[in-house]
Amino acid sequence: MATIAYHRPGSVAEAARLAAADPDARVIAGGQSVLPAMKLGLLIPSAFIDLAGLGELRGIRVEGASVRIGAMVTHAAVAESREIRATLAALSDLAEGIGDAQVRNRGTIGGSVANSDPAADYPAAVLALDATIRTNQRTICSRRT
């Protein structure tokens, strides 16, 4: 079995540098997508870049008609958020139905969207809500022009 390095960066910038330096490294949020792929032999990363300690990727904010959800917000937090429930009840309902309690408490919205599994819940919600996704490198709009 190959050795896999583990990195726990202190900032998004550090995580980006680590990822750029090693194309075979995998960024993990909750690990709910990466770990099953490894078990199936579909993925053999050289390293993990764990985003769990990055507070700048957490948080839910409602600003007028805009809802901002950090990449490291868990499905459970989306489901339980009073702000999201009041503004986008359908998104709370969607998050409440993802997987089981363990997946909801560990899996993140950012990991789900980044994995982009067409069978997952959030990619369809991103399209339906005309959401905008902001990464450290670009802004992705789902709006059709």
The pLDDT tens digits for 36-85 are 888 998 989 999 999 999 999 999 999 888 899 999 999 999 999 999 99
Are 131 and 73 within one domain?
Answer: yes
Are 70 and 42 within one domain?
Answer: no
- β-strand partners of 27: 49
Report the predicted TM-score, pTM, of the whole model to 2 decimal places: 0.85
In the chain, how many domains are there?
A: 2
CATH code at position 43: 3.30.43.10
Domain boundary among 33, 50, 67: 50
For 120, which DSSP code? Answer: S
Are 90 and 124 within one domain?
Answer: yes
Are 74 and 131 within one domain?
Answer: yes
The 10s digit of each residue's pLDDT in 81-98 is 999 999 999 999 999 999
Which tokens go with 64?
Answer: 């007028």
Across 15-19, 27-31, 131-135, the highest mean pLDDT is recorded for 15-19
Q: Which long-range contacts (CB under 8 A, 24 or more apart) does 99-105 make?
A: 99/32, 99/75, 101/76, 103/32, 103/75, 104/74, 104/75, 104/76, 104/79, 105/74, 105/75, 105/76
Task: Tell me the C-alpha distance between 65 and 94, whole Å.
Answer: 19
Q: What domain range includes position 32? A: 5-50
Is the confidence at residue 130, as pLDDT, over 60?
Answer: yes
